């Protein structure tokens, strides 16, 4: 799983907002990196521990030429999985069901007040003849245009 897929799997928990999910992931990664750079350990219960490790200078070997080389001292990030994570990976402990995203809240439009029934019937009767008139008006010019084309 890459970062984009990770964000896509988190988006339902942020009301399908990839922007909010991306922001949350970026904040988490940034916080871990900044604390490790300071030399602090980041420990997450039942997941693991991120820490900065100092590596001593040592001698190594160039695999192409076979000559001995000196490797400088360095600092490396290290992740130590927690017991809970190891148990899940090994299959000795089952995961709890995944948390479900919060239900989406859809704002319903305000209900319109219904007109009295008598007024509704009158308006329905008046509306029908108007539609018929419009159809006849539109049909007449088309016939006139066709007749004009035939004459030419």
Q: What's the pLDDT score for residue 94? A: 86
Which stretch of 16-25, 124-133, 142-151 has the lowest confidence by average pLDDT? 124-133
| Rounded percentage of the chain residues whose pLDDT exceeds 90 | 53
pLDDT-based confidence at residue 81 (cuts at 50, 70, 90): very high
pLDDT(30) > 90: yes
Q: How confident is the model at residue 96 (pLDDT cuts 50, 70, 90)?
A: confident
Whether 85 and 47 have beta carbons less than 8 Å apart is answered as yes
Report whether pLDDT(128) > 70: no
Tokens standing for residue 12: 């339902």
Distance CA 22, CA 73 (A): 35
Torsional sign, CA 84, 88, 93, 94: positive
The pLDDT mean for the chain works out to 81
């Amino acid at each position: 799983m890459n970062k984009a897929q990770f964000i896509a799997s988190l988006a339902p928990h942020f009301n399908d907002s990839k922007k909010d999910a991306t922001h949350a992931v970026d904040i988490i990664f940034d916080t871990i990196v900044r604390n490790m750079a300071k030399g602090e350990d980041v420990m997450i219960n039942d997941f693991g521990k991120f820490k900065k490790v100092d590596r001593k200078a040592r001698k190594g070997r160039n695999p192409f030429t076979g000559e001995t080389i000196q490797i400088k001292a360095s600092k490396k990030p290290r992740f130590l999985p927690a017991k809970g994570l190891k148990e899940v990976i090994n299959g000795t402990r089952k995961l709890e069901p995944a948390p479900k995203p919060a239900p989406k809240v859809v704002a319903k439009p305000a209900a319109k007040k219904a007109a009295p029934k008598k007024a509704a019937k009158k308006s329905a009767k008046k509306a029908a003849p108007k539609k018929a008139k419009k159809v006849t008006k539109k049909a007449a010019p088309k016939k006139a245009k066709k007749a004009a084309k035939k004459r030419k």
